[in-house]
Amino acid sequence: MTQHIHLPGFQLGKHYIETPLVLAPMAGITDLPFRMICRRFGIGLTVTEMIASRAVEQGRERTDRMAELGPDESPVAIQIAGSDERFMIEAARWAVERGADFVDVNMGCPVKKICKQVAGSAMLRDEPLVGRVLQAVVQAVDVPVTLKIRTGWDESCKNVENIARIAEESGVQMLTVHGRTRSQMFNGHANWEDIGLAKAAVSIPVIGNGDVVDGASALEMLRISGCDGVMVGRAVQGNPWVLQEVAAAIRGEAKPARPDNLERWTVVEEHLLQLAAHHGEAFASKMARKHAAWYSKGLPKSAEFRGLFQRLDDWSLQLEVARAYFVEGHVPLSDMQKAA
Ligand SMILES: Cc1cc2nc3c(=O)[nH]c(=O)nc-3n(C[C@H](O)[C@H](O)[C@H](O)COP(=O)(O)O)c2cc1C
Cα 269 from chain centroid? 21
Let me know whether 269 and 243 are in one domain.
no
Residue 5's pLDDT band (boundaries 50, 70, 90)? Answer: confident
Sign for the CA dihedral angle at 168, 171, 177, 183 comes to negative
Residue 1 within a domain: no
Residue 290 within a domain: yes
Residue 135's pLDDT band (boundaries 50, 70, 90)? Answer: very high
Any ligand 1 atom below 6 A from CB of 234:
yes
Let me know whether 239 and 288 are in one domain.
no
How crowded is residue 324: how many other Cβ atoms within 10 Å of its Cβ?
Answer: 17
With beta carbons less than 8 A apart as the criterion, state whether 291 and 34 touch.
yes
Let me know whether 164 and 277 are in one domain.
no
Residue 72 within a domain: yes
Let me know whether 204 and 290 are in one domain.
no
Query: Is the confidence at residue 338, as pLDDT, over 70?
Result: no
Q: Give me the CATH number covering residue 299.
A: 1.10.1200
For range 169-189, the mean pLDDT: 95
Q: Which domain holds residue 265?
A: 261-339
Q: How many domains does the chain have?
A: 2
* pLDDT, tens only, 239-248: 999 999 999 9
Let me know whether 265 and 247 are in one domain.
no
Full DSSP string of 231-283 = EE-GGGTT-THHHHHHHHHHHTPPPPPPP-HHHHHHHHHHHHHHHHHHH-HHH
Query: Is the confidence at residue 340, as pLDDT, over 70?
Result: no
Any ligand 1 atom below 6 A from CB of 106:
yes
Pairing state between β 15-17 and 10-12? antiparallel
Any ligand 1 atom below 6 A from CB of 104:
no
Distance from residue 186's CA to the centre of ligand 1 (Å): 9
* pLDDT, tens only, 44-74: 999 999 999 999 988 888 899 999 999 999 9
Let me know whether 184 and 297 are in one domain.
no
Query: Is the confidence at residue 87, as pLDDT, over 70?
Result: yes
Pairing state between β 76-81 and 46-47? parallel
**Does the annotation count 227 as an active-site position?**
no
The catalytically annotated residue of 38, 109, 115, 227 is 109
For range 189-193, the mean pLDDT: 97
Query: Is the confidence at residue 337, as pLDDT, over 80?
Result: no
Distance from residue 23's CA to the centre of ligand 1 (Å): 10
* pLDDT, tens only, 226-242: 999 999 999 999 999 99
Among 226, 251, 276, residue at a domain's last position: 251
With beta carbons less than 8 A apart as the criterion, state whether 253 and 19 touch.
no
CA-wise closest residue to 281 among 310, 305, 306, 317: 317
Residue 171 within a domain: yes
- Specify the pTM: 0.96
Among 227, 251, 275, residue at a domain's last position: 251
**According to the model, what pLDDT value does residue 27 have?**
96
Among 251, 280, 295, residue at a domain's last position: 251
